[in-house]
Amino acid sequence: MNRTKIVSVNSVSVSKKILTLTLTLTLTLSLTLILAQSEELPYTVKRITDGDSMDYNPEFSPDGKQIVFVSKTESTEKIKKGEFWHKTPFYLNLWIIDSDGKNKRQLTYGKVQDFAPRFTPDGKRVLFVSNRRDNRRDVWSINTDGSNLNRIAEIEGDTGQWRTLQYPVPTPDGKGLVFILYKKESVSGVWFMDIESRKMRRITSGGNGDYF
């Protein structure tokens, strides 16, 4: 009986020591993080685009050497007619620039809306959403030199009432594509597409909408 009691006391003692050590490490790490966040880290802000257009939605290439972004140009004529954004009173085209601000060049052209650009994992192409065909928002692909413009995902077939495609993100191996589809009543779902076969399937379900 005495040996049992001694073992029990030692076990409690060890548990208390572990708990004390854990709390000490937790508090130390928390204080270190707070002190690090309170220090002002040196940084430099540099403007790399200019002009009358609005530039936004920048995305780095995988190697960090290039940036693709959206440039907005107002359609004065359509604005005067009182047309809303879904009637395209402005145009969106993609531009690409070196990360140091040099070698800026236009990537896509036309009185369309090209947006949500993402580099493919190999950095050779840019995926984006565009309404350049039949005013439908599908996923398109273009090489970084402006060649080989192709539509790679479109809303048709067995998608039912799904109408608008947004925010394409390639999988790390470059073989698949994840994106959001919206119904006409603004209910959304996350879908996956195999790029080679073009087969699509929904990977989330129901509710008021799924996003990422």
Supply the DSSP string of 123-183, one letter for each residue. Answer: SSEEEEEEEEETTEEEEEEEETTS---EEEE-S-STTTTEEEEEEEEE-TTSSEEEEEEEE
Task: Lay out the sheet containing 200-202: strands in order across.
Answer: 162-170, 176-183, 188-194, 200-202
**Angle (nearest 5°) at CA 166 between 163 and 168:** 130
Backbone angles phi, psi at 14, to 5 degrees: -65, -40
pLDDT interval class at 96 (50, 70, 90): very high
pLDDT surpassing 50 at residue 23: no
Look-up of token digits 């879904």:
86
**Averaged over 67-95, what is the pLDDT?**
72
Backbone angles phi, psi at 132, to 5 degrees: -70, -5
Lowest mean pLDDT among 17-21, 25-29, 72-76, 103-107: 17-21
- 67 compared with 83, residue with greater pLDDT: 67
Backbone angles phi, psi at 138, to 5 degrees: -120, 170
**Averaged over 52-61, what is the pLDDT?**
88
- Sequence letter at residue 34: I
What pLDDT is recorded for position 28?
Answer: 53
**Averaged over 10-24, what is the pLDDT?**
47
What count of Cα atoms within 13 Å lies in the side-chain half-sphere of residue 124?
4
User: Whole-angstrom Cα distance, residue 70 to residue 53?
Assistant: 10
What pLDDT is recorded for position 14?
Answer: 45
Enumerate the β-bridge partners of residue 98: 66
Q: How far is CA 152 from the centre of its chain?
A: 18
